[in-house]
Amino acid sequence: MTAPHPFPAHRDGGQVHLRLIATTDLHAHLVPYDYFADRPTDSVGLARAATLIAEARAEAPNTLVLDNGDFLQGNPLGDYMAYEHGLRSAEVHPVLAAMAAAGIEASTLGNHEFNYGLDFLAKSLATAPFPIVSANVVINPGPTPSDDRTLVPPFVLLDRRVTDGAGQTHSVRIGVIGFTPPQILQWDHHILSGHVTVRDIVATTAARVPELRAAGADLVIALAHSGLGAPDPVEGMENAATALARVPGIDAIIAGHTHRVFPSDDFDGQPGLDTLRGTAGGRPAVMAGFWGSHIGVIDLLLTRGAEGWQVTASASEARAIARRDASGALVATVASAPAVLDAARAAHAETLAYIRRPIGRLTAPLTSYFALVVDDPSVQIVAEAQRAYVAEMLQGTQHEGVPVLSAAGPFKSGGRGGPDYYTDIPAGDLALKNAADLYIYPNTVRAVRVTGAELREWLERSAGLYNRILPGQPDQMLIDPRFPNYNYDVIAGVTYCVDLGQPARYDLPGHLVAPDAHRITGLCHDGRPVADTDSFIVATNNYRAGGGGDFPGARVETTVFTSPDTNRDILIRHIHALGTIVPPVPATWRFVPMPGTSVLFDTGPGARAHLPEVAARGITEVGPAPGGFLRLRLAL
């Protein structure tokens, strides 16, 4: 639902219609291409968003196009530029060149701008074709935020000629100020420590806005690389856009960072937000999704009074580059803008070569054909990458020294994905794009702190994947096909057994239904039995830690670390660091032996080539199964 358009009034003499158009969280997505799948996609790309920008500009007499940060990093093109190509002096980073080609006139620093280090950032900014501002990333703090020496200019004053409803032109001075989440000090601690500090967003706003007004700004627009968040300020808050909007003197807010869309029904009823009028904290606001998925549009009606230009009406909306048709298929709403494709052409071509080139060598195949029935290296390598990263991130915090475990599962393991939906990477060269075979979802890393009792229940919930098996009977079906594979976690860092003779303790939605049943036995850490009162950190993802699958111990309240980095990026870094990957031989879990008992399970026919590798674990072929699968037998 959208508000009635408030701008017939702009025809009145003296009133000016100014349209702000915004992108956010582009993450180097210039071309509509999925570099991990190595094929075109309609769901991303500044080239598509640029066509929406051009349309929105053509509809309004006066426009200003802004970006909200997280432009430099987040896909293989960004990695290629930072790790392989580098920036020669006077070379414009292709992401910034493409943004300029799309019409973007100013931006701010998102948290991800820092991921490649301060030198690479400085080189990228040196040739930026438009101003990039941030008021709270500080090199040299002063007594107040206004006295700080900031890493980049805190704000910029844009003097623009605008045309009013009667065709007269006027000068308007627009102040554009930027903000970055203070949490970069933790997320990129090794890069930033000793070099920069970060001020609270709301406190910096309150200090700098009067300065902007004193410098003659008729309007102040905040580029807040920050989510909407709660209306009341909390020192150091990550998602501060709504609280910031309530600082007197702010006229409009471009928000983002959370990769969500505003205005949208998603935010109905949230304190401080009006999804119909498109306001946050009473000010016009917009969030344009991520990866070029949307543009944000804020229409401002400016009226000149005794106090200068005032915003007397506004409307906000988000416009998408693609929509779902009746069959659920994604359909592009616009074609790509040629100017953006041109600016990205060389970098895109070089990135294609980069994703197909080896980043490591595998000494043995990595597959997921058996990952639901035996302890599996394709799960273990993800778990190990997450565990090492979280352990590093928690150094120097109150959680340092608590054992770090890691939850991972075989996401690509048939089921509704079909008989070809398995990880199957041959031994030999491992290309960057193979990282998506090992971690298919664009999740981000989180860690939760759980008790030994919660850890045991987490594993019980996961073991609901299996049917109850009767001892001494042959050929019983092992897997409950209704159980979604993404709710199957192996937790590395402890050892345990799964007793299939017991009924499932939890039902499919996650209710405790068999309080006397215990499938998880022999749970040990470091060779010692886990006590209910023990404490552990579990590395996982935003889905699980956000309560996805309703796992005991995994929820917002137990989350102790939230990373902006994707699990896939962590895995890629891990593979880069290893170089040669010897698929780890995991020793995390096994089924409790049941002599004279066997079970059947279906997997992809690609498993046939790997049967010799698992023969010692009691797995043999039965034959074809419905739906194109291959049926195997496991002797328990």
Task: Kindly state whether residue 424 participates in binding Mg ion, applying the rule CB under 5 A.
Answer: no
Query: Which residue stretch of 28-36, 63-71, 233-241, 435-443 sits at the interface with Mg ion (rule: CB under 5 A)?
Result: 63-71
Part of the chain binding Mn ion (CB under 5 A), chosen from 20-28, 262-270, 292-300, 596-604:
20-28
> For residues 207 and 255, which CB has a smaller minimum distance to Mg ion in the complex?
255
**596, 376 Cβ separation under 8 angstroms:** no
HSE value, Cβ hemisphere, 13 Å, CA-based, for 16? 25
Residues 221-240 close enough to bind Mg ion by CB under 5 A: none
Q: Which listed option, Mn ion, Mg ion, none, makes contact with residue 178 (CB within 5 to 8 Å by class)?
A: none
As measured in angstroms, the least distance from the Cβ of 117 to Mg ion is 17
Decide: is 70 part of the binding site for Mn ion (CB under 5 A): yes
User: Least separation, in Å, of the C-beta of 111 and Mn ion?
Assistant: 7
Which of 34, 67, 70, 164 forms a contact with Mg ion (CB under 5 A)?
70
Single-letter residue type at 423: T
Instruction: Give the nearer residue to Mn ion in terms of CB position, either 25 or 164.
Output: 25
Q: How far is the CB of 74 from Mg ion (least distance, A)?
A: 9
Closest CA to 135 of 118, 147, 143, 123: 147
Q: How far is the CB of 223 from Mg ion (least distance, A)?
A: 12
**Which one among 23, 111, 239, 588 touches Mg ion, defined by CB under 5 A?**
111
| Residues 6 or more apart in contact with residue 385 via CB below 8 angstroms | 567, 570, 571, 573, 574, 575
Shortest Cβ 488–Mn ion spacing (Å): 29
Find the binder of Mg ion among 110, 233, 296, 414 (CB under 5 A).
Answer: 110
CB of 111 to Mg ion, least distance (A): 4
Q: How far apart are alpha carbons 358 and 355 in whole angstroms?
A: 8
Under the binding rule (CB under 5 A), the answer on residue 552 touching Mg ion is no
25 binds Mn ion (CB under 5 A): yes
- Whether 491 and 380 have beta carbons less than 8 Å apart is answered as no
Q: Which one of 70-78, 153-161, 277-285, 320-328 is the stretch in contact with Mn ion (CB under 5 A)?
A: 70-78
Q: At closest approach, how far in Å is the CB of 520 from Mn ion?
A: 37
Query: Residue written as tokens 């490649």?
Result: 116
The least CB distance from residue 573 to Mg ion, in Å, is: 18
From the list 298, 291, 289, 294, the residue with the least C-alpha distance to 245 is 298
Sign, Cα dihedral of 64, 30, 255, 329: positive
Piece of 67-75, 263-271, 506-514, 526-534 that binds Mn ion (CB under 5 A): 67-75
Closest distance to Mg ion from the beta carbon of 564 (Å)? 5
Indicate the residue among 113 and 534 with the shorter CB distance to Mg ion: 113
Per-residue contact string for residues 248-267; x = within reach of Mg ion by CB under 5 A: ---------x----------
DSSP 8-state secondary structure symbol assigned to residue 605: G
460 binds Mn ion (CB under 5 A): no
What are the Cα distances from residue 426, in Å, to 339, 368, 420, 430, 610?
Answer: 40, 12, 15, 8, 10
Q: What share of the chain is helix, strand, coil (3-state, %, to 5)?
A: 30, 30, 40
In angstroms, rounded to a whole number, what is the distance separating the alpha carbons of residues 566 and 198?
23
Q: Tell me how far, at minimum, the Cβ of 296 lies from Mg ion, in Å.
A: 15
Pair of tokens at residue 245: 């909007």
For residues 120 and 458, which CB has a smaller minimum distance to Mg ion in the complex? 120
Q: Are residues 609 and 621 in contact, defined by beta-carbon separation less than 8 angstroms?
A: no
The site partner of 111 among Mn ion, Mg ion, none (C-beta below 5 to 8 Å per kind) is Mg ion
Contact 272, 299 (CB under 8 A): no
Reading the block at residue 44, the tokens are 């991303």
Using CB under 5 A, count the residues that bind Mg ion: 4
> Which sign does the torsion angle of CA 59, 65, 70, 74 carry?
positive
Of 82 and 404, nearer to Mg ion (C-beta) is 82
Angstrom CA distances, 5 to 8, 32, 301, 317, 439, stand at: 8, 31, 11, 11, 44
The secondary structure element, H or E, covering residue 273 is strand 273-274
Binders of Mn ion: how many residues, by CB under 5 A? 2
34 part of the interface to Mg ion, by CB under 5 A:
no
The smaller minimum CB distance to Mn ion, of residues 25 and 200, is found at 25
Residue 476 burial by Cβ neighbours in a 10 Å radius (0-12, 13-18, 19+): middle
Burial call 82-110: b when 16+ CB within 10 Å, e when fewer: beebebeeeebbbbbbbbbbbbbbbbbbb
Cβ 112 to Mn ion shortest distance, Å: 6
Site for Mg ion contains 78 (CB under 5 A): no
Residues that bind Mg ion (CB under 5 A): 70, 110-111, 257
Residues that bind Mn ion (CB under 5 A): 25, 70
